[in-house]
Structure 1
Amino acid sequence: MIGGLYSELEAFEAILQHGSFTAAARQLQVTPGAITRRLNTLEARLGAKLLNRSTRRLSLTESGRHYYAEVAPALAQILAAGERVHDLSAQPRGELRVSVPMNFGRLYVIPHLPAFLDRYPGISLDVQFDDRFVDLIGAGFDAAIRIGALSDSRLVARQIAETRRILVASPDYLHRRGAPAAPADLIDHDCLHYTLFRDAPTWEFQRDRETLRVPVRGRLKANYGMPLVDAALHGGGILQTATFAVARELASGELVEVMPDWCLLPIGIYAVYPGREYRPRKVEAFIDFLEETIGRPAVWDRVIAGDG
């Protein structure tokens, strides 16, 4: 009875964590039919319906909410204990679903994943590229890389690097239009704007104790950073970007930093994962590998300095 109840509760937890029977089955490496049978058995055991099921969404019933509130803490301890015992004698394993930003993922994640998979043959990867802050828990992700401010209190965050924000432009653009000497000069320039920034086209600068917020304008904006880098390379304007996105272009001289004596606020790069008492080994292995790959100082800072 105890073993059966454990598998039923495990299925119930997986459904709630991943938002669907299919995702729960993938996590537990069973069929969706097995997940359905386990939930049906649990509901029969309790004599109560726990989930409302429809073709579009799942939701807890009132009985389900009360039951989960009572059982969740104990279940978390049981699952964590099982994972710890398993990890003492096993290598990381299972499918790892990760959400990564598009530019950062293309430059600093994807090129190194074959080495990660060679190191951990028991892990398979599903990497989704998205610059938006996806709901990790609702979408069934194990981890994500996020750049900038964090707001979801349900997630655990570990900073793996930091990157500066700078202004860059091509030598050709600066030759044609002149180099701005101060933030106020940007009003006379074409500024390339990344539309997924949460604020308006206003750039904030600091020098000593002085802070300036300067509205900028330009005729080209996009929701993906790499085309804006390409536009800057072709003389399209001045771009505010992270150093990781333009390290090689800065090192080669194809782009140059604009107004280097004015600072933009640095931004953190974080690995985040759903808050749990115990972090799965596959997640821990992935985050450790990223930290090792990026290094300190970060690989993009070494490239800019000519050491990478």
Structure 2
Amino acid sequence: MDRIDAMRAFVSVVTEGSFSNAATAMQLSPQLVSKYVSKLEERLEIRLLNRTTRKVSLTEAGTHYFQHAQQILLSIDDMESKLGGFQQKPKGTLRISAPVSFALKHMAQLITDFQALYPSVNVDLQLTDRKVDIVEEGFDVALRIGQLKSSSLIAKQVAPIRVILCASPDYLKKYGVPRNPEDLKNHRYLHYSYMERSNKEEIYQWLSIESSQRDGGLSSNNGDLLVNAAIAGAGLALQPTFIASEALVEGKLVIVLPEYEPETLGLYAVYAHRKLLPHKIRCFIDFIEGYYGSPPYWDKPIPAK
């Protein structure tokens, strides 16, 4: 027996004056209302109502129980009402961790649009390419790029992330265009420090091996710097299109060895719990899903020149 339902049935019988009136008010059958009250009395081991063919009346114990039950139900209804309003209008501070380059290029408008829809939510956006511990560091959501491994966290894919090998036209004119991975031994590689190696990424394997055998390489933990270095003619960069797309469209960079493009990664929104998820987090997860388009706007075809 649901204790709250039984309590509601009892209070309704008292306030409505009869089982039939209470049944109408609760949209239940009189038999079910009577059963709820009887089960409640059995559980309490005391009679709450005196029943006759014409009316019902409270016993002394029933009077005391009615007063307390009424207050309890009013408190529950008030709490649910407040929570319902909170669900309709999410409030509080939403703490988000996001990769540096992606956030700088693609999150300002997203946060602006999100807060226009939910003005009572404050956003604390922290940028780092380090893999944060969401629970220990107090984040509500973390955006991560890669091929996520199994974990206790919940992850929803936001957008596919293409990774391309690129270089400036001037660099390729000077050093030649690679036609296959073996040709990469004659080129300089701009290495991203946080790149995770994958057996399927043949380009990355070749670049890692060959660049380690030459002097004058460049390594950095920031993709924007490496793309700018590639534009300046410093070498080949293996970078996501969300960083390189503008330079590709403007002709400052061109894709090298497109037939060997690494496996597509993903941008994921990662959060800690599925049950009892705060509404501010649920609203953000729902909002960011599909926000960037499919394919994302930075992967639109490059206009022919």
Q: TM-score, with normalisation over the residues of structure 2?
A: 0.66
1:168 corresponds to 2:166: yes
Q: Give the 3-state SS of the residue equivalent to 2:289 in structure 1.
A: helix
* Residue of structure 1 in register with 2:123 after alignment: 125
Q: 8 Å contact 1:205–1:265 — kept in the other structure?
A: no
Give the structure 2 partner of residue 181 of structure 1: 179
- The SS at the match of 2:201 is strand
> How far apart are the structure 2 equivalents of 1:82 and 1:204?
53
Distance 1:253 1:82, change over 3 A: farther
Other-structure match for 2:241: 243
Query: What pairs up with 1:1-20 in 2 under 5 angstroms?
Result: none
Inter-partner Cα distance in structure 1 for 2:227 and 2:248: 11
Pick from 146, 149, 158 the counterpart of residue 144 of structure 2. 146
Q: Deviations over 1:35-74 (max 9, x none)?
A: xxxxxxxxxxxxxxxxxxxxxxxxxxxxxxxxxxxxxxxx
Q: 1:205 aligns with which of 202, 205, 211?
A: 202
The alpha carbon displacement at 1:82 in A equals 6.9
d(CA) in 2 for partners of 1:84, 1:150: 38
Q: Does 1:100 align with 2:98?
A: yes
Aligned residues: 220
Separation in 2 of the partners of 1:84 and 1:272? Answer: 28
Structure 1 residue runs of 4 or more that deviate by more than 4 Å after TM superposition: 81-85
**2:157 maps to what in 1?**
159
Q: Contact 2:95–2:123 at 8 Å: present in 1 too?
A: yes
Q: Describe how 1:78-117 pairs up with structure 2 within 5 A.
A: 85-86=83-84, 90-117=88-115
Which protein shows a greater Rg?
2
- Structure 2 alignment gaps of length 5 or more: 1-78
3-state SS of the aligned residue for 1:134? coil
**Structure 1 residue identity aligned to 2:121:** I
Q: What's the CA shift for 1:153?
A: 1.5
Give the drift of 1:224. Answer: 1.1
Counterpart of 2:210 in structure 1 is 216
What's the CA shift for 1:114?
1.9
Give the 3-state SS of the residue equivalent to 2:202 in structure 1.
strand
Provide the C-alpha distance between the structure 2 equivalents of 1:284 and 1:216, rounded to a whole number of angstroms.
Answer: 46
Alpha carbons 2:168, 2:253 under 8 Å: kept: yes
Q: 1:108, 1:220 → 2: CA distance?
A: 26
Distance in 2, matches of 1:262 and 1:153, equals 30
Residues 258 and 95 from structure 1, CA distance in 2 versus in 1: closer, same or farther, beyond 3 angstroms?
same
User: Partner amino acid for 1:187?
Assistant: K
- CA distance in 2 between counterparts of 1:84 and 1:98 reads 26
Q: Distance in 2 between matches of 1:170 and 1:83?
A: 60
| Paired letter, 1:105 | A
**Of 229, 232, 241, which aligns to 1:231?**
229
Secondary structure of 1:95 counterpart? strand
Task: Tell me, yes or no, if the aligned pair for 1:193 and 1:221 is still in contact at 8 Å.
Answer: yes
- The equivalent residue for 1:278 is 276
Q: Is the 8 A contact 1:109 1:290 kept in 2?
A: no
